[in-house]
């Protein structure tokens, strides 16, 4: 049985780490200058927090990675008794090498008492680097925050994922087109684990992978229907088709990415293509600056319909 791709292909070198380039460069510089701090890596799941922590461990600890890289989980190792006994004993011992790294995943699940206890251990652990990984930075107390450098990780952009997926597909002898890889990235919502898991699912096929295999053909058909409605000026039908995608679990950003790809591939008029892509970009900007996605759907569709009708009138 094949190992999980997520673990097999977890990056072991810097060039395999995808997204959050600025954070990666800062950490690389700290390692090079021997100025590593304690860290809090915050952000949603699947965007590289654990991968970066492990990369730090591999680069700093070298041959002692297996002994001096210690992973704990806030959902299980979260009581004050565990902090005092289990982690307290670790801190008392000298590292096998010159330093150890303790990583707390799901740190937001640590109890208040446990976090208070960790504050004292952070101060005692002179040969220890601490990395707290969390989905919710607000649940980490101020004393821990004040002793760590915090980084907020962003979702990974689809274009940043593609090369990594190409690498994995080649390594695993998966015959899949770059177009389908892009679709998987566009539907990932910034979580690279999703397309990697899909690659594992289709790795059983000894043939070229199709849209049906990866489950995107239905989405492509729905996007086509949306643009047919836009062309006809049928706002209500277009909006209904967008909501159908929502019901299938596709979020606003992924819908924009799918529409973006459709425009690039299917719209032949160069000027209309440019103006449509500008509307897509405008809506994505508004969404990321806090505008309601539901209002943006109406704005997007109305702008596209207005553009198409304007072009019809000028023909």
Per-residue pLDDT of the chain (315 residues; tens, 9 = 90+): 457 888 889 989 998 999 999 999 999 999 999 899 999 999 988 899 999 999 999 999 999 999 999 999 888 877 788 777 888 888 888 899 999 999 999 999 888 888 888 888 888 767 899 999 999 999 999 999 999 999 999 999 888 999 999 999 999 999 999 988 988 888 888 889 889 988 988 888 888 888 878 766 667 778 889 999 999 999 999 999 998 888 877 888 888 888 888 888 788 888 888 999 999 999 988 888 888 888 999 999 999 999 988 876 555
CATH code, domain with 207: 1.10.8.60
137 DSSP 8-state letter: G
pLDDT of 204 reads 82
Range of the domain at 147: 20-152
In a domain, 3, yes or no: no
Q: Which pLDDT does position 1 carry in this prediction?
A: 47
User: What are the beta bridge partners of residue 73?
Assistant: 105
Domain match, 277 and 172 both = no
Residue 80 lies in a domain: yes
Judge contact between 90 and 67, C-beta under 8 A: no
Domain presence at residue 11 = no
147 and 91 within one domain: yes
Q: What is the pLDDT of residue 2?
A: 59
Provide the CATH number for the domain around residue 27. Answer: 3.40.50.300
Residue 212, class by beta-carbon neighbours within 10 Å (0-12 exposed, 13-18 middle, 19+ buried)?
exposed
CA angle 210, 206, 248 (to 5 degrees): 35
Do the domain assignments include residue 8? no
* Number of structural domains the chain divides into: 3
Residue 184 lies in a domain: yes
For residues 60 and 144, state if they share a domain: yes
User: Do both 182 and 138 map to the same domain?
Assistant: no
Which residue pairs, CB below 8 angstroms and at least 24 apart, start in 94-97? Answer: 94/127, 95/64, 95/67, 95/68, 95/127, 95/128, 96/64, 96/67, 96/68, 97/61, 97/62, 97/63, 97/64, 97/67, 97/68
């Amino acid at each position: 049985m094949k190992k999980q791709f997520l673990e097999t292909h977890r990056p072991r070198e810097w060039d395999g780490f995808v997204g959050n380039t600025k954070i990666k460069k800062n950490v690389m510089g700290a390692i090079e200058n021997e100025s590593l701090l304690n860290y809090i890596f915050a952000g949603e799941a699947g965007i590289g927090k654990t991968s970066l922590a492990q990369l730090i461990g591999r680069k700093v600890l070298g041959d002692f990675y297996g002994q001096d890289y210690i992973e704990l989980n806030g959902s299980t190792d979260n009581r004050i008794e565990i902090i005092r006994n289990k982690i307290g004993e670790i801190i008392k011992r000298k590292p096998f090498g010159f330093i150890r790294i303790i990583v707390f995943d799901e740190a937001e699940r640590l109890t208040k008492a446990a976090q208070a206890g960790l504050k004292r251990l952070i101060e005692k652990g002179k040969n220890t680097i601490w990395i707290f990984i969390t989905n919710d930075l607000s649940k980490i107390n101020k004393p821990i925050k004040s002793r760590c450098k915090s980084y907020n990780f962003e979702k990974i952009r689809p274009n940043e994922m593609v090369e990594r997926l190409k690498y994995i597909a080649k390594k695993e002898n998966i015959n899949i087109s770059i177009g389908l890889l892009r679709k998987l990235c566009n539907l990932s919502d910034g979580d690279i684990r999703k397309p990697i898991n899909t690659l594992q699912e289709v790795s059983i096929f000894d043939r070229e992978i199709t849209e049906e295999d990866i489950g995107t053909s239905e989405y492509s058909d729905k996007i086509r229907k949306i643009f047919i409605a836009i062309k006809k000026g049928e706002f209500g039908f277009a909006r209904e088709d967008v909501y159908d995608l929502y019901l299938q679990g596709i979020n606003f950003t992924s819908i924009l990415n799918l529409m973006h790809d459709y425009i690039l591939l299917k719209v032949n008029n160069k000027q209309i293509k440019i103006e449509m892509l500008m509307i897509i970009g405008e809506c994505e900007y508004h969404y990321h600056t806090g505008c309601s996605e539901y209002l943006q759907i109406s704005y997007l569709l109305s702008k596209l319909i207005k553009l198409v009708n304007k072009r019809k009138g000028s023909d």
